[in-house]
Amino acid sequence: MTGSREAELENAANALLDARRSLKFIDDLPERLRPADTDEIYAVQDMVAASYGEIGGWKIGAPTSDATPLFAPMPAAWIAPSGSTLGGSQWRFRGLEAEIAFLIGHDLPPREMEYTREEVLAALESCHPAIEVLETAFSDPEKASRASVLADLQMHGGFLHGPGISTWRSIDFTAEHVVLAVDGVVRVERTGSNTSGNLLRLLPWLANEGAKRTGGLRKGQWITTGSWTGNTLATPGASVDVTFSTAGAVSLRFA
């Protein structure tokens, strides 16, 4: 990457940060600042995330069962337990996604030989129901270019985790049922609806293919594995409940 291109990507990251922090949202990044490929998307993501401090984990997903996964950092400051109340002007979009997440129990540092699926799964401490809250730098993210939206931390805004389940290996995620309710009204109800197909395939991919960027997965970090419910919008003051048939429940409230 040339110095001039790196400067343009820094300007892209600053534009995304300024929009989120000032609440002066933009329609899109200027064309010259839009990432041209996945490497540039990740470069902008990393610049944005660095401004929020320590990385608490990674969000990863894939739009289909055979698509290459995409991932983004989750700032530790944006991670909270179930039952938390989210207050402040940054909660403007309030997009909701029901997800399954994993807490890493021991480090998986980068290495030459790829980790096997069993090695990665053995490094996981527990499985958790989760809600990802989506926020955005854009006035309407559906009208912004895909590269710009992906660079904006893939719209990551917050992550809330429910109680852990140590017996998660017995869960058949293809048959797992999920209900997302807002203010007691069911908004989404689906079964086996994770878009990546077998969500467990995402974990060894992140440990191996993602290691150059992540620097390895670390004990205490979270991995959340994509939406089961699509993007559901909430209003100010709303209470949100997500219930999986086996993986448990998680909730939040917007102030």
pLDDT in tens, 172-226: 999 999 999 999 999 999 999 999 999 999 999 999 999 999 999 999 999 999 9
CA dihedral 194, 200, 205, 211 (to 10 degrees): 110
> Six-digit token pair at 143?
């009208």
CA-CA distance, 215 to 230, in Å (whole number)?
A: 30
pLDDT in tens, 33-90: 999 999 999 999 999 999 999 999 999 999 999 999 999 999 999 999 999 999 999 9
β-bridge mates for residue 54, sequence order: none
Q: Taking the model in full, what pTM does it have?
A: 0.96
Q: What domains does the chain contain, in order, with CATH numbers?
A: 3-254 (3.90.850.10)
